């Protein structure tokens, strides 16, 4: 049989372990995050996750991430007994009571931060409830404080051990990994896909604001008699007042004209760029753009949606 060793015994141990993974070298007993965006743009290490916090500063990125999280939280949940036996029903009732005793939906919402960053960590605060031990609350913890060992165990970085970290006790923390490949506990969050659209959009808006400042209002040009210092001063004050006052008064002999700037190309290029980046974010997070960007309900959009359902 293919699943037995040379002695005929079943092979029940893991063979392709992380320690033997030539594509995933560990460092002094701890794993490393394989997210290329964090490595190249964030400098690597747990603190690199800060660049994904900046993604949520973009209004559209924040909105689509919230929409996905809330869609999960809105789903109903239930506890089903393993069988119709009295013991299993009693166990189900106990589990249901404990889940109702703390903010279960809040815990799920906080753990969904893994969507963006790859993994999320919550610390379980246990509480003695009569003859049972239940959950009082689950406190969200910053992912940057944690790493993982070779057995995928959670380790907390401290001032005394900033590299390997201290191994955390069992059943004290809950970890949610998203987009994990090959058992990587760091996961692979949507941040690696959202980083560039938000980055390009931010640069685009910077240029857009510069464009608006330069071409949004005409350039003011004034003329005065050569050698007249007083007229020059009055002219500069008058041109400065044009941008703020409804009317101005200028002395005789001073002339002010407005120059319209010649703009080459389409003036909505920056807006189109920003909208395109928003669409890329919507597709990455939600898998579509229509419900987020309000695109039409017919034509190619409706046909595209039908293809998705088929």
What average pLDDT does range 193-199 have in this prediction? 96
Q: How many CB atoms lie within 10 A of CB 5?
A: 10
pLDDT: which is higher, 211 or 203: 203
Regarding predicted confidence, which is higher, 22 or 145?
145
- Under the banding of pLDDT at 50, 70 and 90, the label for residue 16 is confident
CA 166 to chain centre: 28
DSSP single-letter state for residue 153: -
Residue tagged 């941008």 (tokens): 243
How many Cβ atoms sit within 10 Å of the Cβ of residue 208?
17
Q: Give the span between the Cα atoms of 194 and 213, in whole angstroms.
A: 29
More confident residue, 111 or 298: 111
- Which three-class secondary structure state does DSSP give residue 128? strand
Give backbone dihedrals phi and psi of 277, rounded to 5 degrees, phi first. Answer: -65, -35
User: Is a pLDDT exceeding 70 seen at residue 263?
Assistant: no
| More confidently predicted of 38 and 27 | 38
pLDDT score at 170? 93
Higher-confidence residue of 132 and 190: namely 190
pLDDT at 250 over 90: no
User: Who contacts 279 (Cβ-Cβ below 8 Å, separation ≥6)?
Assistant: 289, 293
* Angstrom distances, CA of residue 68 to CA of 109, 112, 278, 284: 10, 9, 15, 11
Model confidence, pTM: 0.76
**Do 35 and 49 touch, CB atoms closer than 8 A?**
no
105: how many CB neighbours lie within 10 A of its CB?
14
Instruction: Output the average pLDDT for the chain.
Output: 82
pLDDT interval class at 216 (50, 70, 90): low
Q: What is the pLDDT of residue 308?
A: 33
Q: Which letter, b or e, does each residue of 284-303 get, where b requires 16 or more Cβ atoms within 10 Å of its Cβ?
A: bbbebbeebeeeeeeeeeee
Confidence of residue 259 (pLDDT cuts 50, 70, 90): low
- pLDDT above 90 coverage of the chain, percent: 50
**Helix (H) and strand (E) counts in the chain:** 11, 8
Answer whether residue 307 shows pLDDT above 60. no
Q: Is the pLDDT reported for residue 298 higher than 90? A: no
Mean pLDDT of 38-66: 91
Question: What pLDDT is attached to residue 19?
Answer: 72
Contact 118, 178 (CB under 8 A): yes
The 10s digit of each residue's pLDDT in 113-167 is 999 999 999 999 999 988 889 999 999 999 999 999 988 899 999 999 988 999 9
Is the pLDDT at 297 greater than 50, yes or no? no
- Res. 23: pLDDT tops 80: no
CB-CB neighbours of 81 under 10 Å: 16
Q: Confirm if 223 and 253 have CB atoms less than 8 A apart.
A: no
Check if the beta carbon of residue 188 is closer than 8 Å to that of residue 35.
yes
Task: Return the closest-CA partner of residue 194 out of 71, 284, 270, 298.
Answer: 284
Can you give the pLDDT at residue 300?
37
User: Which pLDDT band, with edges at 50, 70 and 90, does 28 fall under?
Assistant: confident
Average pLDDT over residues 93-122: 95
């Amino acid at each position: 049989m293919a699943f037995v060793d040379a002695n005929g015994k079943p092979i029940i141990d893991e063979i392709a372990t992380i320690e033997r993974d030539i594509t995933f070298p560990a460092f002094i007993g701890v794993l490393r995050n394989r997210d290329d965006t964090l490595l190249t743009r964030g400098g690597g290490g747990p603190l690199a996750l800060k660049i994904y916090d900046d993604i949520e500063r973009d209004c559209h990125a924040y909105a689509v991430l919230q929409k996905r999280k809330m869609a999960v939280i809105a789903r109903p949940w239930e506890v089903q007994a393993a069988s119709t036996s009295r013991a299993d029903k009693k166990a189900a009732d106990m589990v249901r009571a404990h889940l109702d005793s703390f903010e279960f939906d809040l815990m799920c919402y906080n753990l969904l931060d893994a969507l963006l960053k790859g993994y999320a960590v919550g610390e379980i605060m246990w509480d003695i409830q009569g003859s049972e031990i239940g959950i009082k609350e689950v406190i969200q913890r910053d992912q940057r404080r944690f790493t993982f060992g070779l057995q995928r165990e959670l380790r907390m970085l401290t001032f005394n051990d900033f590299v390997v970290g201290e191994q955390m006790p069992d059943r004290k923390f809950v970890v949610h990994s998203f987009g994990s490949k090959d058992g990587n506990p760091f996961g692979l969050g949507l941040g690696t896909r959202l980083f560039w659209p938000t980055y390009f959009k931010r640069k685009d808006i910077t240029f857009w604001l510069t464009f608006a400042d330069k071409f949004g209002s005409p350039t003011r040009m004034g003329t005065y008699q050569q050698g007249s210092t007083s007229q020059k001063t009055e002219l500069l004050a008058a041109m400065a007042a044009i941008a703020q006052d409804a009317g101005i008064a200028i002395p005789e002999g001073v002339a002010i004209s407005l120059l319209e700037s010649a703009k080459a190309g389409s003036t909505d290029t920056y807006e189109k760029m920003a909208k395109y980046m928003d669409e890329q974010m919507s597709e990455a997070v939600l898998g579509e753009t229509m419900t987020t960007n309000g695109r039409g309900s017919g034509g190619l959009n409706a046909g595209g949606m039908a293809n998705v359902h088929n």
